[in-house]
Amino acid sequence: MFQHDEQQWASQTFASCRLRDRRHRRRLIEIGACLARRPAASLSAACGDDDAARLGGYRLIENDRVDAEAIAEGGFAATVDASRDAVRLLAASDTTTLTYSHEVAKTLGDVGGPADRGARGWLVHSSLLIDATSQIAIGLIDQQWRVRDWKGRGRKHQRKSRPYPEKESFKWQVTSAHMAERLGAQMAQVIELCDAEADIYEYLAYKISHNQRFVVRIAQDRRVFTSGCLSDEDEKLWAHLEQQPSLGTRTVTIPQRSGRAAREATLTLRSATVTLRPPQRAGGVQTAPLVRLTLQAVLVEEMNPPKDVEPLRWRLYTSEPAQTLQQAQQTADDYSQRWQVEEFHKAWKSGCKVEDQRQQTAENLRRMAQIRAFVAVRLLQLKQHAASAPERPCEPLLDATTWKCLWLSVEKQSLPEVPPTQRWALHAVARMGGWNDSKRTGRPGWVALMRGWQELQARVAGYRLALAGPL
């Protein structure tokens, strides 16, 4: 259930944080509520005229006794609590970079790009827990922060000679282990969604041996065993999948994204049970012998795409049954929710302006970024709730004062007798931020939403100050 009140949300999210001083937890909840009200603002601006909150907030962020990991663990515990009633769960995992170029960046790590750019930062691998039924994010269940050694630049070719636990790709297994530890028996309900970066033989072996559920996009065209024998020399996994009979077709709407126009697509689904041949890594180091893996593979392929348009094609490994059209469709539908972790990253960066923060040390910056990570999840949830039930009244997503102020600002006419819809509210906030839906998608971006939200909050604050009367 989405918590509309920022103070109650902050209490639920951070109450379990095991900080050394109870006063630190109270301050954390206080500044969490302030940032939830004004996610894109600096801490000073978010606290407004509350000097005590501002002073306490900066003292918390600059206190070396406050562990960013403890803040994160408290937020993960809140996610576990919020997921108790979910029947089926998805965990979407992905990595992003947090990039900085001010003075503190000298203490951070390589994030790629030109060596002379001067930008450094963190690689952050996040896992977002999702209610599979409502398709709404529940919260973060894991994050790994990595400072990549700048001296290692240009040594990518050496990765094959390093043991698996020493590779960056080991992060996928670490995330799975962390989730299992936090969720306990509830881990049996979780299907982890991973992009092609997770197509790692050792990782797949770990998931299968620990009875963990997954959908992983296939990156490597491996040789497979079929009917107990090694397939023909020229036949590999991709060709084997393409030779399977069609399970059926379905029509889906592919949304507009990154210059791609929205369109209707007819998809054909195929599947096969395959046994993978363990890789032979010349010169590589293996910590243990690799065994054969038997799992399901699904091919989702667009038929007759428009001219000059790259067709949609997903090749997926899954632990789930996939022999029927309905089962294969479920695997494809589950994987389609992986984009939510990418939306979380956009909310974190564009909505909460995490890369615009200017703390004086890396530790201070990490504490602020960690708090804003949970605020970003709340932003994502707010947007999802508005989109999932667009015709519902916008109250209580917006309180009466806020939606009325929004109406008068955008529509410039008399107030309606009943609250307008959630769809209207989402679009109206974006319009205040300069959005005009020129691409006819009906999906405003984070930048416009946050500009509009900042402006709306300023107008609501002005209205409430006017009600207070003359000073």
Q: What is the DSSP string of 237-277?
A: HHHHHHTSPP-EEEEEEEPPBTTBPPEEEEEEEEEEEEEEP
152 and 239: one domain? yes
Number of domains, the chain: 2
333 and 212: one domain? yes
pLDDT in tens, 236-264: 899 999 999 999 998 888 776 656 667 78
Has residue 34 got a pLDDT over 90?
yes
C-alpha–C-alpha distance, residues 76 and 17, integer Å: 9
DSSP 8-state code for residue 234: T
Residue 166's domain comprises 69-345
421 and 309: one domain? no
Per-residue pLDDT, 465: 77
Is the bond preceding 396 in cis, omega lying within 30 degrees of 0?
yes
Q: To the nearest whole percent, how much of the chain has pLDDT over 70?
A: 90
Of 345, 378, 407, which marks where a domain is finished? 345
AA identity, residue 316: L
269 and 340: one domain? yes
Other CB atoms within 10 A of residue 268 CB: 14
**Is residue 93 in some structural domain?**
yes
**Is residue 2 in some structural domain?**
no
Q: Among candidates 376, 264, 349, 341, which has minimal Cα distance to 35?
A: 376
Residue 293's pLDDT band, with cuts at 50, 70 and 90, is very high
Per-residue pLDDT, 116: 58
Per-residue pLDDT, 166: 87
> If you compute the radius of gyration of the chain from its CA atoms, what whole number of angstroms results?
24
Per-residue pLDDT, 231: 47
Query: Which range has the worst mean pLDDT, 192-201, 268-277, 287-296, 411-420?
Result: 287-296
320 and 240: one domain? yes
C-alpha–C-alpha distance, residues 297 and 294, integer Å: 10
**Average pLDDT of the chain?**
88
pLDDT in tens, 327-368: 999 999 999 999 999 999 999 999 999 999 988 899 999 999
Has residue 36 got a pLDDT over 70?
yes
Per-residue pLDDT, 280: 73
Q: Is 299 left (phi over 0), alpha (psi -120 to 50) or beta?
A: beta
Whole-model pTM over 0.75: yes
Provide the CATH number for the domain around residue 274. Answer: 3.90.350.10
Q: What would the mean pLDDT of 156-162 be, rounded to a whole number? A: 62
**Is residue 29 in some structural domain?**
no
**Is residue 227 in some structural domain?**
yes
186 and 330: one domain? yes
Q: To the nearest whole percent, how much of the chain has pLDDT over 90?
A: 60
pLDDT in tens, 100-146: 988 888 888 888 766 656 678 999 999 999 999 999 999 999 999 99
Has residue 93 got a pLDDT over 70?
yes
Residue 153's pLDDT band, with cuts at 50, 70 and 90, is low
Of 328, 345, 362, which marks where a domain is finished? 345
Provide the CATH number for the domain around residue 441. Answer: 1.10.740.10
Residue 391 in 3-state DSSP? coil
C-alpha–C-alpha distance, residues 409 and 361, integer Å: 41
Q: Among candidates 340, 419, 418, which has minimal Cα distance to 381?
A: 340
Per-residue pLDDT, 453: 87
285 and 393: one domain? no
212 and 129: one domain? yes
205 and 311: one domain? yes
246 and 341: one domain? yes
**Is residue 6 in some structural domain?**
no
Q: What would the mean pLDDT of 377-384 be, rounded to a whole number? A: 92
Q: Which carries the bigger pLDDT value, residue 150 or residue 320?
A: 320
Cβ-contact 100, 120 below 8 angstroms: yes
Phi, psi (rounded to 5 degrees) for 247: -80, -20
193 and 299: one domain? yes
* Chain center to CA of 275: 31
**Is residue 147 in some structural domain?**
yes
Residue 161's pLDDT band, with cuts at 50, 70 and 90, is low
C-alpha–C-alpha distance, residues 185 and 192, integer Å: 15
**Is residue 7 in some structural domain?**
no
Per-residue pLDDT, 278: 86
C-alpha–C-alpha distance, residues 244 and 226, integer Å: 12
Q: Among candidates 109, 114, 79, which has minimal Cα distance to 344?
A: 79
Residue 232's pLDDT band, with cuts at 50, 70 and 90, is very low
**Is residue 373 in some structural domain?**
no
196 and 135: one domain? yes
Residue 154's pLDDT band, with cuts at 50, 70 and 90, is low
Other CB atoms within 10 A of residue 251 CB: 8
CA angle 365, 156, 109 (to 5 degrees): 15
